[in-house]
Amino acid sequence: MNGEAIVKVEGVGKSFGATRALDGVSCEFRRGEITALVGANGAGKSTLIKIICGYYEDYEGDIMVAGNRARFQSTKDAYKNGIQTVHQSINQGVVQNMTVAENLALEYLLSDECRFFVDNGEILARARAIAEPMGLGDMDLGRKVEDLSQSERQLLVIARAIASDPALLILDEPTSSISERETEILFEKLAMLRDRGVAILYVSHRLHEITRIADRVYAMRDGRISSMLEKPFHVKQIVTAMVGTVKEKLDRACGAASCAEPSLELRDLVVEEGNRPLNLTVRRGEVLGITGLIGAGKTELAEVLFGIRKPVSGSVLIDGVERSFDSIRDAIDAGVHLVPEDRANNAVVNDFSIRHNITVPFLRDYSSFGMMRRGRERKRAEELVSSIGVKCSGESADIDSLSGGNQQKVVVARWLVRDFKVLILDEPFQGVDIKSRRDIGEYIRANTGAGSAIVLATDLDEIIEIADRIVVMNSGMIAGEQGADAIDRDLLLHWTSQRPEELVQERA
């Protein structure tokens, strides 16, 4: 029956050494309801999810499943009890050297039903049956997952989880890498599952999503449930429950930046074959926001500026000097720094400490005659950890001990170790709570100095919050721009959603 608690958490606690991650947490997840779980980075959300899904066996308190006490020995035990989880780190849910079809049909491949000699036709049929309802019918099922974008991997894992007919479906930041259209498809499927009596636990820092789809909200703070809200609730109530009050707006520098010297200039820059040339100026002290749907060309532009790919034609000027980069090292030496979109694959160095993750690109700055100056390195890491607000036991702690949002702060801090001329941040707020987002925004603004920052993000609210000026990209071209002092959201959305032929005609 809808409303019946399928999973109950009773007085659950968990410590990691001297750090108390969870302290007496009690909550429940009911059939036919979407329950949201919110909290600042490091509040304990991921630890709670890992206990419910069997990742951690050692904890205090009890988990009740359908009225029975459960103590899972593994994630497989949780899965057998109908608990299906899509984790924030999406690469935990895919086998990268297998094909899309094999990943979609993974449950079948691991079951006794699958014969020793695998029937590829059966795998393809099962994969199509999972992919098509999620709007993935056009995805190449024979492609290796390692060749997929982050958003494609995310959709693959979500589709497989939904198809497993779970009793409790846990989604941790499911929309962090997918487009608005794909998010709409996901919400339709979640509504369908809710109507079928599935209990859904939804974790997201995008609070407007929660007000739209959730029936109840548990807010966590410092390892405890700080409050529980039931519909109707508003974004401001959720924020207050999570972190208290936060600064409403970031201080802008648009007036001063508009008169400053150019830090970066793009002159007739063609990023990919067939694209129109880009002409753009970013001035010293300015934070430029570039938005657009996934596939609009934002990441490709960042790769050109950071020396990952060569442009087709045109020129890039840094502080008025034309530059051409043959490698990432060339770009770094020229003062161009990049916080990449895919934190798990391209940024975080697992098993390294926080300090080593921060200083790894600039080890030469902390060495003399081939010997590391550990004291100097440690002091700089401590300064950054403190100033950007990383919640940790210290700079020597392992990066894997941090929440996703605090890992993101470390990645941002890495590229602020050394003065830059252009700092590019590609989707820097994925999995980051509203307070941490503003902490990062304030820190970027305070440390731009004589350089400039470019923030690339699909989420329009994130761009409006941080940018002095907003540029919309669509199909590899600049569709339009606005200053932060004269935002017209409808026009920004219009530029974002136009078809390429309409854009060309409108700008002719």
Span 148-154, average pLDDT: 80
Segment holding 12, helix H or strand E = strand 5-16
Structure tokens at 147: 């060749």
Q: How many CA atoms lie within 13 A of 87 on its CB side?
A: 20
Select from 195, 212, 243 the last residue of a domain. Answer: 243
DSSP characters over 244-310: S---SSPPP-HHHHTTSPEEEEEEEEE-STTPPPEEEEEETT-EEEEE--TTSSHHHHHHHHTTSS-
Cis peptide leading into residue 232 (ω within 30°): yes
Determine how β-strand 287-291 pairs with β-strand 469-474.
parallel
Kindly report which listed range (41-45, 194-198, 288-292) carries the lowest average pLDDT score: 41-45
Q: Which of 339, 398, 431 is nearest to 87 (CA)?
A: 431
CATH code (residue 314): 3.40.50.300
User: Residue 313 domain-assigned?
Assistant: yes
User: Residue 342 domain-assigned?
Assistant: no
Span 467-496, average pLDDT: 89
List C-alpha distances in Å: 256 to 60, 88, 285, 293, 443.
55, 39, 8, 30, 18
Whether residues 313 and 259 fall in one domain: yes
CA distance 164 to 83: 10
What is the residue range of 395's domain?
Answer: 348-418
Q: What angle do CA 74, 349, 176 make, to 5 degrees?
A: 70
Whether residues 471 and 376 fall in one domain: no
User: Residue 33 domain-assigned?
Assistant: yes
User: Residue 290 domain-assigned?
Assistant: yes
Q: Is the pLDDT of residue 246 over 60?
A: no
pLDDT for 429: 82
Whether residues 34 and 141 fall in one domain: yes
CA distance 171 to 80: 18
3-class secondary-structure state, position 389: coil
- The pLDDT tens digits for 325-350 are 999 999 999 999 998 887 777 778 88
The mean of the pLDDT values for the chain is 85
Span 6-14, average pLDDT: 95
19 band by pLDDT with thresholds 50, 70 and 90: confident
Whether residues 121 and 253 fall in one domain: no
* The amino acid at 247: K
Inter-residue contact 92 to 67 (CB < 8 Å):
no
* The amino acid at 231: K
CA distance 501 to 498: 8
Structure tokens at 399: 């990066």
256 band by pLDDT with thresholds 50, 70 and 90: very low
Span 352-356, average pLDDT: 91
Structure tokens at 338: 């990049």
Q: What angle do CA 376, 380, 386 make, to 5 degrees?
A: 145
Whether residues 227 and 375 fall in one domain: no
Whether residues 24 and 97 fall in one domain: yes
Kindly report which listed range (106-120, 121-135, 202-216, 400-414) carries the lowest average pLDDT score: 106-120
Whether residues 136 and 160 fall in one domain: yes
Handedness of CA 326, 329, 334, 340 (dihedral sign): positive
User: Residue 343 domain-assigned?
Assistant: no
By percentage, how much of the chain surpasses pLDDT 70?
93
SS (H, E, C) 326-339: CCHHHHHHCCEEEE
Whether residues 204 and 329 fall in one domain: no
CA distance 303 to 285: 22
Determine how β-strand 278-283 pairs with β-strand 262-270.
antiparallel
Q: Is the pLDDT of residue 253 over 60?
A: no
3-class secondary-structure state, position 313: strand
Select from 205, 220, 243 the last residue of a domain. Answer: 243
Q: How many domains does the chain divide into?
A: 3
Whether residues 299 and 228 fall in one domain: no
Whether residues 211 and 151 fall in one domain: yes
List C-alpha distances in Å: 464 to 246, 256, 288, 495.
17, 18, 10, 15
Span 91-109, average pLDDT: 81
Span 134-161, average pLDDT: 83
Span 162-169, average pLDDT: 86
Span 294-318, average pLDDT: 91
Inter-residue contact 54 to 72 (CB < 8 Å):
yes
Q: How many CA atoms lie within 13 A of 385 on its CB side?
A: 23
pLDDT for 245: 57
Whether residues 278 and 396 fall in one domain: no
Whether residues 382 and 461 fall in one domain: no
Select from 221, 243, 265 the last residue of a domain. Answer: 243
Q: What angle do CA 33, 182, 277 make, to 5 degrees?
A: 155
Q: Is the pLDDT of residue 16 over 90?
A: no
pLDDT for 507: 64
pLDDT for 205: 80
Backbone dihedral angles phi then psi of residue 436, each to the nearest 5 degrees: -65, -35
User: Residue 340 domain-assigned?
Assistant: no
Strand partners, 282: 264
User: Residue 341 domain-assigned?
Assistant: no
- The pLDDT tens digits for 59-95 are 999 999 999 999 888 888 998 899 988 887 777 777 8
